């Protein structure tokens, strides 16, 4: 596509002049564009070229903010799922975890977003830069949000005071990732319920439903 | 290397004539060779060429048994760690799980075997054939062995009768894989102990140490 028609597409889409908006707003715009692309199509057609055209931001600026396609995809995905994967707080940790885990399983198994993440995790195993982008832009932030909600449950006495909350992240969402990355067993609703109840109730003979 | 010198290397290493051993023995030999290579060096220098030379089995035969380098590596790794990762049964499920998880964490974090598996899982995200080799030759078998041991604990009343054992595999070993593949948090001994105790004791306020 020639430069002129790209410029036209930008003006058509953005409906405003160039270089006048605050940087944060421009960034948010780009992330929204990338997020929409990813949830609709996955990473196959995600290129800096296309994102530049759709968002009206130069490739040079895009590369400055996101040094690789992986970083751009991760940041876009994080923002695209931020609301869907928010941690509800009704005061009932069991119900809230289940609701969030169901939303998470839906994104991961029913939208291209699941493939996007699995492929980026896959690629990160042999790409140290992508691995650190993954942690910075996605997983450590998701982990922090989960631990915040779990922390409130611990404060309110729904989780025992001596429990390490980081470990719970691995035994809930990590267990789901395990089934997504090594799909010997499916991610079903029964699975999600069991993840939560195994922890809240325990699996030992003296643990019990109250 | 010329054909003759490869032949010499084979005779030197195997110390016996060609084509006289039963197929199972030859296969076991190849897997042992591959397993040793992997635990010492990872996959970097694993080639059909080299395995053929070291084991005295033709590349044609190797390809017939293992259609890809990934399949060969997985089968070799499975056999290399089979003894180390065996599931002990002293009758005490907590102690036995901890012992096995410690051995597993050691293989995964202190030998090249961990890198081998992580890279194969990574590659399997975009390689359907490797993904199915992974499940067939490695993960589904490891899962079966874990569930066998957990099943005996359930029979002896150390795990409640209504607990789905498959889910425990994801909340124990799957949680470790999560920290290996997305290393936001380290795999420490405290982590392994917490994995087991969170499940056996439960994390809720009414769960308790007995």
- A5-9, A131-135, B98-102: range with lowest mean pLDDT: A5-9
B134 shares contact with chain A (CB less than 8 Å): yes
Q: B173 is in which domain, residue-wise? A: 83-201
Each residue's pLDDT tens digit, A145-203 = 999 999 999 999 999 999 999 999 999 999 999 999 999 999 999 999 999 999 999 99
Q: Are residues A165 and A138 in the same domain?
A: yes
Q: Is A143 on the interface with B (CB under 8 A)?
A: yes
Inter-chain CB proximity B207 and A201 less than 8 Å: yes
Reported ipTM exceeds the 0.90 cut: no
> Does one domain contain both B41 and B113?
no
Residue pair B46/B34 in contact (Cβ under 8 Å)? The answer is: yes
Task: For residue A132, give every residue at least 6 positions away whose Cβ sits within 8 Å of its Cβ, in sequence order, or none.
Answer: none
Q: What is the pLDDT of residue B40?
A: 86
Contacts with A149 from chain B: Cβ below 8 Å: none
Which two three-digit tokens encode residue B149?
């041991």
Nearest CA in chain B to A93: B204
Structure tokens at B55: 């084991």
Based on the domain organization, do B62 and B94 belong to the same domain?
A: no
Per-residue model confidence (pLDDT) at position A207: 65
Domain of A31, CATH number, reads: 1.10.10.60
| Model confidence pLDDT, tens digit, residues A104-126 | 999 999 999 999 999 999 999 99
Whether residue A59 is predicted with pLDDT greater than 70 in this model: the reply is: yes
Element (H, E) at B201: helix B189-201
User: How confident is the model over A60-85, as pLDDT tens digits?
Assistant: 999 999 999 999 999 999 999 999 99
The segment with the largest mean pLDDT, out of A43-57, B142-156, B193-207, is: B142-156
Q: Are B73 and B34 in contact (CB under 8 A)?
A: yes
Question: Does B73 reside within a domain?
Answer: no
Select from B67, B93, B112 the last residue of a domain. B67
Question: Chain A within 8 Å of B161 (Cβ-Cβ)?
Answer: no
Give the residue with greater pLDDT, A88 vs A207: A88
Each residue of B12-59: pLDDT tens digit?
A: 444 455 557 889 999 999 999 999 999 888 888 899 999 999 999 999
Q: Is B34 helix (H, G, I), strand (E, B) or coil?
A: helix
Residues A85 and A61 in one domain: no
Averaged pLDDT for residues A122-144: 96
- Do A95 and A47 belong together in one domain? no
């Amino acid at each position: 596509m020639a430069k002129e028609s790209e410029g036209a597409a930008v003006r058509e889409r953005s409906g405003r002049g160039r270089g006048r908006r605050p940087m944060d707003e421009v960034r948010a715009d780009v992330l929204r564009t990338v997020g929409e692309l990813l949830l609709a199509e996955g990473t196959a057609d995600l290129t800096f070229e296309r994102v530049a055209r759709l968002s009206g931001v130069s490739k040079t600026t895009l590369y400055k903010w996101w040094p690789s396609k992986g970083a751009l995809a991760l940041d876009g995905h994080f923002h695209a799922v931020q609301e869907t994967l928010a941690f509800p707080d009704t005061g009932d940790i069991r119900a809230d975890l289940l609701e969030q885990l169901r939303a998470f399983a839906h994104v991961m198994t029913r939208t291209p977003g699941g493939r996007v993440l699995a492929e980026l995790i896959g690629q990160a195993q042999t790409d140290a830069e992508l691995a650190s982008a993954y942690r910075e832009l996605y997983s450590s932030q998701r982990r922090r949000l989960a631990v915040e909600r779990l922390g409130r449950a611990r404060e309110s006495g729904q989780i025992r005071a001596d429990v390490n909350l980081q470990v719970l992240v691995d035994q809930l969402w990590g267990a789901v990732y395990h089934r997504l990355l090594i799909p010997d067993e499916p991610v079903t609703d029964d699975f999600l319920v069991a993840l939560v109840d195994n922890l809240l109730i325990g699996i030992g003979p003296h643990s019990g439903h109250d």
